[in-house]
Amino acid sequence: MLTKDDFKKIKKEAKLEIAVLEQEYHHMGQELDSPQWDQRKHRRYASLVIECCSILEHMLKQLYQSIYQKKFNSTELMKTPAYRARSNMEIIQAELNKQQIALKPGKENMEHALSQVFLARNKLIHENFSFDSIVKEGMQAEETFEAMLDTIQKYRKHLKYLRPE
């Protein structure tokens, strides 16, 4: 059974891991003048996005495992008619919502924003790891990455354990 303290611990671990990635990103910004940087910049952004998503997904799976006392198995859950056309993230969010782990009231739009980040991650993986394929129109690569990082951080921050103890 998941306690509020366990919930806070799992969220804090994710926060610390995301903070390390954010530091790496800021350190990368100091290397922009290097000629080799141009060749690696977009691959590095892509790997940071994938790693951020992995951290968040791992956090949600830890919460799921603590609550249900079993590993998250999307294949098994997709047998449920309501989950057939949903992504892994949507399924795990729905399962956690059943146990009152949800976004703060008024922050529900973060679920859609997070889905967009995960769709972009999937596109990165399937588009030959090309960050250019997900850079939003009218934005630079840095702005796109920062927006995705911000979404992940806000989602983690606004996720609450609403069950009274």
pLDDT of the residue at 136: 82
Would the pTM of this model clear 0.85, i.e. be above it? yes
Is the per-residue pLDDT at 27 higher than 90? no
Mean pLDDT of 64-88: 92
Q: How far apart are CA 23 and CA 134, in angstroms?
A: 22
DSSP 65-120: HHHHSS---HHHHTTSGGGTT--HHHHHHHHHHHTTEEEPTT-THHHHHHHHHHHH
pLDDT of the residue at 1: 82
Using DSSP's 3-state secondary structure scheme, residue 127 falls into coil
Summarize pLDDT for 128-159 with one digit per residue, the tens: 888 888 998 888 888 999 999 999 999 999 99
* Host domain of residue 139: 4-161
As for how many domains the chain has, the answer is 1
Summarize pLDDT for 41-63 with one digit per residue, the tens: 888 889 999 999 999 999 999 99
- In this prediction, residue 31 has a pLDDT band, given cuts at 50, 70 and 90, of low
- In this prediction, residue 108 has a pLDDT band, given cuts at 50, 70 and 90, of confident
Q: Are 115 and 90 in contact (CB under 8 A)?
A: yes
